[in-house]
Amino acid sequence: MLEFKDVTFKYAEDDFYMMKDLNFSVKKGEFVSLIGQSGCGKSTILRLINGLEKPEKGEILIDGKNINTLKDYCAFMPQKDLLFPWRTIEKNLCIPMEIKGVPKKDMHKKCVNVLEEVGLLDYIDKYPKDLSGGMKQRVSFARTILAGSDIMLLDEPFSALDSLTRMDMQEWLLKQWKHFGKTIIFITHDVEEAVFLSDAVYIIQDRPFKDMERVEIPEQYPKSREFLKRPDIVALREELIKKLRNRREEQ
């Protein structure tokens, strides 16, 4: 569904290239995580996918079409929920639909439907201050769904949550992913989170990088926390950590 073909990119203010001739792909409906050291280029990949940055060379394709020819092909969920405090939950959810010019009567129906799916319908008239951190992220996810795109880009969405809430949100996200059938590209610094959530993990180890090692996660859904205790999964997690540590030592 998504393909990078010989993508080369550097920021104008930098003397070094972030990536050179990068090739990788993501299949339709996959949940893929990107891991690597801070500043290695994970978020840059998302910025290239959503068109906030342009490659110096190469092309990025969605279903075989260059993203420069497409609209509304992906939706972005950042680390912070970015909910407007003066808007109700419903009005916050309406933002992507307002941009698209969706009729008001249709917006309300869509808000009701998605809030029911994420278990927050009772909060439709509340304000962000009335919600916990995890609930705000669920609203942010719902708003991303309402953007109507098949690809969702999630940039460390649970990094600010406490550990228990984070685990709850991971399990919740897997259910939502399977329900809505989206393709998800997920950035995290947490190797265990990547292993638990993903079909596959891409590791960024070099700079500039032209390849990302793809590691398949051997598990079918639904997953439980017991999955993380399996000897083969513990060994896989440790191997991923070792790869990241080796990269840090080389730097």
Find out whether 73 and 28 touch, Cβ atoms under 8 Å.
no
Q: What are phi and psi of 20, to 5 degrees?
A: -135, 125
Summary mean pLDDT of the chain: 87
Tens digits of residue pLDDT in 88-118 = 999 999 988 888 888 888 999 999 988 988 8
Single out the residue of 157, 171, 14 nearest to residue 80, CA to CA. Answer: 157
What DSSP state is assigned to residue 209? Answer: B
CATH architecture of 1-73+150-214: 3-Layer(aba) Sandwich (3.40)
pTM of the predicted model, to two decimals? Answer: 0.87
- The residue among 171, 166, 194, 192 whose CA lies nearest residue 35 is 194
Q: Report the alpha-carbon angle 110-68-215, nearest 5.
A: 80
Res. 66: pLDDT tops 80: yes
Sheet holding 31-35, edge to edge: 74-77, 151-155, 183-187, 31-35, 200-203, 213-216
Give pLDDT, residue 200. 93
Domain layout of the chain by residue ranges: 1-73+150-214, 81-148
Q: Which residue has the higher pLDDT, 196 or 158?
A: 196
